[in-house]
Amino acid sequence: MAKKLTIERILHSQGFGSRKACRMMVRHNWVTVSGVACEDPFAEFDTDKLKFTVDDEPWEYREQAYLMLHKPSHYECSHKTLHHPSVFSLFPTPLIERDVQCIGRLDEDTTGLILLSDDGQFIHRLSSPKWKVPKVYEVTCKHKVDEAQIAELLKGVQLIDEPTPIAALACTKISDNVIHMTLAEGKYHQVKRMVAAISNRVEALKRIKIGEVELPKDLAPGEWRWLTAEELHALTHTEKL
């Protein structure tokens, strides 16, 4: 819903710093609104589709942040990393200041689609086990995968420390060594452990789909973008499995 806010509050809500810092940005002529310089931090603007620049960088007002990232290899999904750079280093500072969080994590050597947001309800819906949002992984295996192994993954394989067998929702052979596996759970190293249970080994792992949202072919590793309205609707209007 559109609302009117002062430019100071708009900048603060979008992660550009404290209210005082945002006032100073405006007074130092760092800010334009809809192409017009703004010098009054208390000037009010309608936030609906509001476009502005800060230090010549273009932005659009968004009440909540809904993002996708093509995670590269050797990045960690954490602010406090151990051995590799953080995925958050791939985003501009205002989004970090808004406290966007990864919705689920990928191992440092796993690539592909990650969603991020600062909307707690959205994060909970996509990460809650109750909703069982399906995720599709492209799995490159060390050895050729045969139909019997595909059948095992669909029937369910027994993993150490799990009380019952774990089955893939779907599993499709793409080539001799590549399969697409769909899961609705997020257990520790689940794909790698399931592939090991059929006497094979994961050589490369990439998440290519979450719910009905696919990793875009034109989004290169390390690149991010905002979710479209259609993608957001698809993620928030799915039924429980």
Q: What is the mean pLDDT of residues 194-209?
A: 96
Q: Which range (15-24, 25-34, 76-85, 131-140) has the least confidence?
A: 76-85
- Average pLDDT, rounded, for the chain: 93
Same domain, 35 and 13: yes
Same domain, 30 and 78: no
What positions carry a catalytic annotation? 107
* 88 domain residue, yes or no: yes
> What is the CATH classification number for the domain harbouring 140?
3.30.70.1560
* 241 domain residue, yes or no: no
Q: What is the mean pLDDT of residues 52-59?
A: 95
* 17 domain residue, yes or no: yes
Beta strands in the chain (DSSP E): 4-6, 31-33, 36-37, 44-46, 51-54, 57-60, 66-71, 101-102, 111-117, 135-141, 170-173, 178-183, 202-210, 213-214, 224-226
Q: What is the mean pLDDT of residues 160-175?
A: 92
Are the CB atoms for 193 and 159 separated by under 8 Å?
Answer: yes
- Please give the tally of structural domains in the chain: 3
pLDDT in tens, 15-50: 999 999 999 999 999 999 999 999 999 999 999 999
Q: What are phi and psi of 100, to 5 degrees?
A: -65, 145
Q: What is the mean pLDDT of residues 184-190?
A: 84
Domain of residue 123, residue span: 66-128+219-236
> What is the CATH classification number for the domain harbouring 75?
3.30.70.580
| Residue 241: predicted pLDDT | 47
Instruction: Give the Cα separation of 144 and 122 in Å (integer).
Output: 39
* 103 domain residue, yes or no: yes
Same domain, 124 and 161: no
Same domain, 8 and 47: yes
Same domain, 56 and 165: no
Q: What is the mean pLDDT of residues 106-133?
A: 91
* 157 domain residue, yes or no: yes
Same domain, 40 and 86: no
Same domain, 101 and 203: no
* 228 domain residue, yes or no: yes
Report whether pLDDT(240) > 70.
no
Are the CB atoms for 134 and 169 separated by under 8 Å?
Answer: yes
| Residue 239: predicted pLDDT | 59
Same domain, 122 and 141: no
